[in-house]
Structure 1
Amino acid sequence: MNILLKSAKIVCPEDKNLHLKKRDILIKKGVIERISASIAPLSNVRELTFKNLHVSLGWFDSSVSFGEPGFEERETIKNGLAVAARSGFSDIVLNSNTRPVPDTSSDIVFLKERSNGSVTRSYPMGSLTMASEGKDLAELFDMHNSGAVAFYDFKQSISNPNLLKIALLYAQNFDGLVMSFPQDSQIKGKGIVNEGEVSTSLGLKGIPSLAEELQIARDLFILEYTGGKLHIPTISTANSVKLISAAKKKGLDVSCSVAIHNVLFTDDTLNEFDTNFKVSPPLRTKVDCKALIKGLKDGTIDFVTSDHMPMDIEEKKVEFDNAAYGTIGLESSFGALNTLLDTEETIALLTKGRERFGVPAPSLKEGEMACLTLFEPSSEWTFQKDDSASTSKNNMFQGQNLKGKVLGLINNNQITL
């Protein structure tokens, strides 16, 4: 693959000599050969020119679900990775919510092999407990040796605090990352949306913020006792931000993420009973959104995620109470986040998180393999159902105004345009 990118504005805060500079970038056989103010056209090199072309390091998403194995009707790994590439993501962490769940080393090997050769690289998580049932620890060490980057019972509360304690202690032997979903299942009860004025007016059972915050407080106390590495995925409340901020000031090795839809939407959107807005954790209030945005800006929240979760129409086109949780979000991630933050902040967030999961970080330097997302940040457009290449169409961003578009991805000596 020989490509010449012309007049690309580079967004790379890590390199002050290149950041926000316009440069030509020559890539030969997947390697960045030259970065210069001007590079003359070359034979056997494909020249790419776009209006308002911007380039950054490839983007990273820490929470992506597909369906294979077990739920291929939602999304196969092959098509899911093609969607991720089209969305500008060079690396994704694959959630452990398949059937069967990946709780052995052979499961991890299968997921890695199914991802081979794709433009986007996939890094699987293993489940924390056998069959994600919360009873016995899964084969953490064996899965780690086979390539699992973290251990997580996807969207399942760890109800047994001693199990989390043992997991954090055990994983320290190989520097493993343990994840705990922030929701107390007993306090959640039969709740399905945020508990508050909206849930009361709509007659929907509520999930109080306490369900999230109590679980986080418990997990942080356990982490302080055991040591180890803990990641709390997709927080959603203002007090959760405060709890994690205090823990970081204590020096605890804790990180957290937030789903993009949880910083952009509130539970006011539920008035139409659109099941695409039924997600876990639930959409909260304006006060929570404001605190989450502040947490992103001050670094309390380490990174954002699309929390991409395909669901077929049979699981969504039902009564709100009976609908499955989840929304897809890879294809709308950049345009949605870019409406809320400026482009530099957006790119900084979309390129963060690899180190926490032990994923190799790319570099925008001559002699390095090219791992670049191409985008333009200024066009305003409305996301429609036809804009999605995902097999499932459960996207809460349908009909929403977005800003900026992905133009392509260069990675693994391949290009997607």
Structure 2
Amino acid sequence: MNTLLKSVTIVNGSTKSLHLKKRDILIKNGVIEAIETSIEPTGKTKVIEINNLHVSIGWFDSGVSFGEPGYEERETIENGLLTAAKSGFTDVILNTSSHPTPDSSSDIVYLKSAAKDQLTNLHPLGNLTVKGDGEALAELYDMKNAGALGFYDYKHPVSNANLLKIALQYAQNFEGLVFSFPLDKTISGKGIVNEGINSTKLGLKGIPALAEELQVARDLFILEYTGGKLFIPTISTSNSVKLIAEAKKKGLEVYCSVAAHNLSITDDELQDFDTEYKVMPPLRTASDIKALQKGLKNGTIDLVTSDHTPLNIELKHVEFDNADFGSIGLESIFGMLNELLGIEEAITLLTKGRSIFGMEVPKLEVGQVANLTLFNPDDTFEFSEEHIFSSSKNSIALGKKMKGKVMGTIANNQLVVNN
């Protein structure tokens, strides 16, 4: 496949001299052949010429969920990866949210095999514990050898402190990355939203910020004792940012992420009891959002994730108390980040983080394999169901103002162009 991108603006390219410069980019058989001021097409070449087209290296998401195996009606791996490609992502890390959950090397092999030959690369995580039940460590070393990039009992905290200690000590033998979800369930109890003024007004059971921060503090104490590598996914409170910043100053190898919706949407949105706003961790306050945004800018928070979580309609179209937690997010994360932070910072966040997981970082240079995302950063619109590619439609972004549209993705010698 030969593709010529005409008059594209390069954002955050490998070469600083090309940043925000307009160039033609010729791709032959999946490899960047030339980057010039002007290139004329020859032979059978697909020419892509779109007004205000921009390009960056392909985007990366550190935490998505599909349904397969077990919940194919929510999202198959094939359609999930197509959704990711249409949303600009060339690499995604798959959470352990399937049924059964992946807790052996054969499970990891199955997931990688199911994702073979797709444009978007799937990188699975394996369970930290057998069946994700928090009682005994899973086959971490074998899963690592099979291709698992880390170990995570998705959205389930490691309640046993000694188990986390042993996991961090053991995983050091093979550079394993241990995940620990930041929630103390003895504090959160049966809470479903942020504990505060809004939960009191609405009569909804609250999850105190303390439930997250207590777990973060405990995990960091254990990490300081054991050494190793710890990943804390989707933090949501100001004190969590502070605790992680202090740990990094001590030299601890700790990484963390934040969900895009926790960067911009507060628990004020709960007034109408719309279950699309029921997420985990819960939407917090404006002061938390301010601290999270500051943590992103100063490097305390390493990654922004879509936390893409497709759910059946019957799990959302019920009373708020009974609805499941979660929202899809692949299709909306670019528009949310670009509207909030501007194009350069948004692209930086969408392209960083691969090195944390030992992945190869794409380069936008001649001679390199093409791993690119195409987008228009200035297109504004209101997000609606017509912008959703997922099989499930549970989106926290519905009705929100977006800025920027993904126009296409190129990777693995394949091309997806959005209409």
TM-score, structure 1 as length reference: 0.99
Residues 199-218 of structure 1, C-alpha deviation per residue, up to 9 Å, x if partnerless?
Answer: 00000000000000000000
Aligned pairs (5 A) from 1:194-273: 194-273=194-273
Residues 22-42 of structure 1, C-alpha deviation per residue, up to 9 Å, x if partnerless?
Answer: 110000000000011111221
**Structure 1 match to 2:5:** 5
Aligned pairs (5 A) from 1:100-115: 100-115=100-115
* Equivalent AA in structure 2 for residue 182 of structure 1: P
**Structure 1 match to 2:128:** 128
Equivalenced residue count is 417
**Structure 2 match to 1:137:** 137
Give 1:14 shift.
4.0
Q: Distance in 2 between matches of 1:117 and 1:73?
A: 22
**Structure 2 match to 1:84:** 84
**Is structure 2 residue 21 aligned with structure 1 residue 21?**
yes
Give 1:386 shift.
1.9
**Is structure 2 residue 184 aligned with structure 1 residue 180?**
no
**Structure 2 match to 1:319:** 319
Moved more, 38-47 or 331-340: 38-47
Give 1:18 shift.
1.2
Give 1:13 shift.
5.2
Q: Distance in 1 between matches of 2:389 and 2:238?
A: 34
Q: Distance in 2 between matches of 1:250 and 1:312?
A: 44
**Is structure 2 residue 27 aligned with structure 1 residue 59?**
no
Give 1:303 shift.
0.9
Q: Distance in 2 between matches of 1:97 and 1:403?
A: 30
Residues 128-167 of structure 1, C-alpha deviation per residue, up to 9 Å, x if partnerless?
Answer: 0000000000000000000000000000011100000000
Q: Distance in 2 between matches of 1:81 and 1:48?
A: 23
* Equivalent AA in structure 1 for residue 188 of structure 2: K
Q: Is the 8 A contact 2:168 2:230 kept in 1?
A: yes
**Structure 1 match to 2:366:** 366
Q: Distance in 1 between matches of 2:15 and 2:96?
A: 35
Q: Distance in 2 between matches of 1:253 and 1:63?
A: 19
Q: Is the 8 A contact 2:15 2:365 kept in 1?
A: no
4+ runs deviating over 3 angstroms: none
User: Gapped runs of 5+ residues in structure 2?
Assistant: none
Q: Distance in 2 between matches of 1:282 and 1:164?
A: 24
Residues 164-201 of structure 1, C-alpha deviation per residue, up to 9 Å, x if partnerless?
Answer: 00000000000000000000011000100000000000
Q: Secondary structure at the match of 1:63?
A: strand
Q: Distance in 1 between matches of 2:257 and 2:97?
A: 18
Give 1:17 shift.
1.6
* Equivalent AA in structure 2 for residue 90 of structure 1: T
**Structure 2 match to 1:282:** 282
Residues 24-80 of structure 1, C-alpha deviation per residue, up to 9 Å, x if partnerless?
Answer: 000000000001111122121111101001000000000000000001111000000
**Structure 1 match to 2:43:** 43
Moved more, 195-204 or 361-370: 361-370
Residues 315-353 of structure 1, C-alpha deviation per residue, up to 9 Å, x if partnerless?
Answer: 001110010000000000101111100100000000011
**Structure 1 match to 2:346:** 346
Residues 349-377 of structure 1, C-alpha deviation per residue, up to 9 Å, x if partnerless?
Answer: 00011111122211111111100000010
Q: Distance in 1 between matches of 2:254 and 2:14?
A: 24
**Structure 2 match to 1:73:** 73
* Equivalent AA in structure 1 for residue 110 of structure 2: F
**Structure 1 match to 2:149:** 149
TM-score, structure 2 as length reference: 0.99
**Structure 1 match to 2:310:** 310
Please, what is the CA RMSD of the aligned residues? 0.6
User: Gapped runs of 5+ residues in structure 1?
Assistant: none
Q: Distance in 1 between matches of 2:47 and 2:274?
A: 45
Give 1:389 shift.
1.4
Q: Secondary structure at the match of 2:294?
A: helix
**Structure 2 match to 1:357:** 357
Q: Secondary structure at the match of 1:168?
A: helix
Q: Distance in 2 between matches of 1:402 and 1:284?
A: 21
Residues 264-290 of structure 1, C-alpha deviation per residue, up to 9 Å, x if partnerless?
Answer: 100000011110110000000000000
Give 1:380 shift.
0.7
Q: Secondary structure at the match of 1:167?
A: helix
Q: Distance in 1 between matches of 2:294 and 2:122?
A: 30
* Equivalent AA in structure 1 for residue 126 of structure 2: G
* Equivalent AA in structure 1 for residue 286 of structure 2: K
Q: Secondary structure at the match of 1:369?
A: coil
